[in-house]
Amino acid sequence: MFDSAIYQTRRRRLQEYFSTGLVLLCGNFESPFTAADNCYRFRQDSSFLYFCGLEQPGLALLFDLDAGREILFGSDPSLEEQVWSGPIPSLVERAADSGIGNVAPLTRLAALLQQAIAKGQPVRLLPSSRAENRLFQADLLGIQIAELPTFVSTELIKAVVALRSVKGAEEIAELDQAADLGYRLHCAAMKMALPGTYEWEIAGELEALAARAGRMLSFPAIVTTHGEILHNHQQIRQLQDGELLLVDAGVESRRHYASDHTRTFPVGGTFNPAQQELYQLVLQCSDRAYELIRPGITFAEVHREVCLVLARGLAALGLMRGDPQDAVAAGAHALFMPHGLGHMLGLDVHDMEDLGEDWVGYDEQVHRSGQFGTRSLRLGRRLQDGFVLTVEPGVYFIPALIERWRAEQLHADFIAYEQLGNHLDFGGIRVEDDVLVTATGHRLLGHRRIPRTVEELTGRQ
Ligand code: GLY
Ligand code: MN
Ligand code: MN
């Protein structure tokens, strides 16, 4: 964890958003894999980690604004636990590591919360997508799970998003560290991607590199020659010479900050002409994003500008037609890029996704589009110095989507359906890097950029 002063400052800033009532931040519990004593690898809740830094399961932090106290709830290790799991710090020691002055047994938390509710004190929670957390919280409050949303506080979500969105120097150092390890993962994948290799061998090497550094991947890696399947976690194919391999993988830093990079490159080291043209178009898309990213611009605008480059480029290749501005306004380009340009990155790969994507990516000024493609843009709002985000344009040929749109002649003024038959088995290309918005513009995270130009990617194997 960071120095306790960092967590104390974060907690003080959170408390400044509220004047009365209670705020409860719950940590995660062990989650059984096959049985209670055989659990998934433990990963602390990211907001709890942000405000406490404590990585053990079974903790909760209560801010009592009325009493001006913060209390860490948990338990001291039993002798039995110490026999099976070795020395475990006491609750007081763990609280001290985070600069928290008060501790209490977790078994006392339910009564305290239920008394507060009975007295009419507001009790505020964050949402959680983990079922065991929702069960725990409902038990604590003495309510049915279905009633939990009444305790999920928009005020609290907004405060946490405001704080976590702007990364401090200590977080940026972690994100650089994650990106540096990400560089090693992607270079290793490139070296391995020879004809005859299986996708799972590369995915396994990514896991191994992370594990050998004492880390974990920040999400299940995507290693696929079917890049058109956006979140393809199947790793079953043997690589063939001339195919494009898409590797979308990230890793956590020591303190759990994520990287998230994608590279797409030819198995065997040579792009064919069609692959190269479309690959260079994706690079032009990302270059356009980097021309624009700076504080003050909305990411929705950056996304739109990138889609224009995509539509112009596809028109030049004979795959789209008509006025690119009109095509993008109509959403026709989304046949080829049905996802958003990027998302916030931090302690989560899609940072703060658990708190509700619209609270993270949108605000009173910028609302999520309802249009297919653009509605999947996770981040639309105005960029600020200290935001960290991904830039990940792509171009995909998704047979089911093409077939449906062609049957409906959707956007037929803009899409050259007659040319798409040749591309149904093309696959997909995505290129993704991680970016820090700075006072004057932006910089990439990590000290070295993963090879990305055609020259860098060809002839490597
Ligand atoms: N790895 C998923 C994404 O890039 O958003
Ligand atoms: Mn990714
Ligand atoms: Mn991403």
Q: What is the pLDDT of residues 322-332, one digit of tens each?
A: 999 999 999 99
Best residue among 185, 186, 248 to mutate for probing ligand 1, ranked by most atoms within 8 Å of CB:
248
Of all atoms in ligand 1, which is nearest to the CA of residue 249? 1
Q: Return the structure tokens found at 190.
A: 């490139």
Nearest to 241 by CA among 198, 277, 196: 196
Mode of pairing for the β-strands spanning 69-74 and 102-105? parallel
User: DSSP labels for 233-246?
Assistant: ----PBP-TT-EEE
CA atoms within 13 A on the CB side of 95: 20
Q: With contact defined as beta carbons under 8 Å apart, do 282 and 254 qualify? A: no
Domains 4-165 and 169-458 fall in the same CATH topology: no
Identify the pLDDT of residue 457. 94
Of all helices (H) and strands (E), which one includes residue 105?
Answer: strand 102-105
DSSP state of 425: T
CA of 392 to the centre of ligand 2 (A): 7
Best residue among 206, 217, 219 to mutate for probing ligand 1, ranked by most atoms within 8 Å of CB:
219
Is the CATH code 3.90.230.10 the one for domain 169-458? yes
DSSP state of 73: E
DSSP state of 179: H
Helix (H, G, I), strand (E, B) or coil at 24: strand
Of all atoms in ligand 1, which is nearest to the CA of residue 430? 4
Q: Does the beta carbon of 426 sit less than 6 angstroms from any atom of ligand 1?
A: no
Nearest to 397 by CA among 203, 244, 169, 294: 244
Find where tokens 């391999």 sit. 245
CA of 143 to the centre of ligand 2 (A): 38
CA of 73 to the centre of ligand 1 (A): 35
Cβ count within 10 A of residue 27: 22
Of all atoms in ligand 1, which is nearest to the CA of residue 378? 5
Of all atoms in ligand 1, which is nearest to the CA of residue 250? 1
Of all atoms in ligand 1, which is nearest to the CA of residue 392? 4
Helix (H, G, I), strand (E, B) or coil at 317: coil
Nearest to 43 by CA among 298, 256, 197: 256
Mode of pairing for the β-strands spanning 222-224 and 244-249? antiparallel
CA atoms within 13 A on the CB side of 442: 24
Burial label, 35 (beta-carbon count in 10 A; 0-12, 13-18, 19+): exposed
CA quadruple 181, 8, 345, 253: dihedral, nearest 10: 10
Prediction pTM value: 0.96
Q: Does the beta carbon of 260 sit less than 6 angstroms from any atom of ligand 1?
A: yes
Q: Which residues contact 200 (CB under 8 A, 6 or more apart)?
A: 223, 235, 236
Which architecture characterizes domain 4-165 according to CATH?
Answer: 3-Layer(aba) Sandwich (3.40)
Find where tokens 């939990």 sit. 148
Widest CA span of the chain, in angstroms?
A: 74
Find where tokens 């501790």 sit. 103
For the chain, the domains span 4-165, 169-458
Nearest to 333 by CA among 322, 343, 320: 320
* Sign of the dihedral defined by the CA atoms of residues 345, 349, 354, 357, in that order: positive
Identify the pLDDT of residue 459. 64
Best residue among 263, 341, 349, 450 to mutate for probing ligand 1, ranked by most atoms within 8 Å of CB:
349
Q: What is the pLDDT along the chain (461 residues), one digit of tens a residue?
A: 999 999 999 999 999 999 999 999 999 999 999 999 999 999 999 999 999 999 999 999 999 999 999 999 999 999 999 999 999 999 999 999 999 999 999 999 999 999 999 999 999 999 999 999 999 999 999 999 999 999 999 999 999 999 999 999 999 999 999 999 999 999 999 999 999 999 999 999 999 999 999 999 999 999 999 999 999 888 999 999 999 999 999 999 999 999 999 999 999 999 999 999 999 999 999 999 999 999 999 999 999 999 999 999 999 999 999 999 999 999 999 999 999 999 999 999 999 999 999 999 999 999 999 999 999 999 999 999 999 999 999 999 999 999 999 999 999 999 999 999 999 999 999 999 999 999 999 999 999 999 999 999 996 54
**SS3 per-residue string spanning 401-419:** HHHHHHHHCCCCCCECHHH
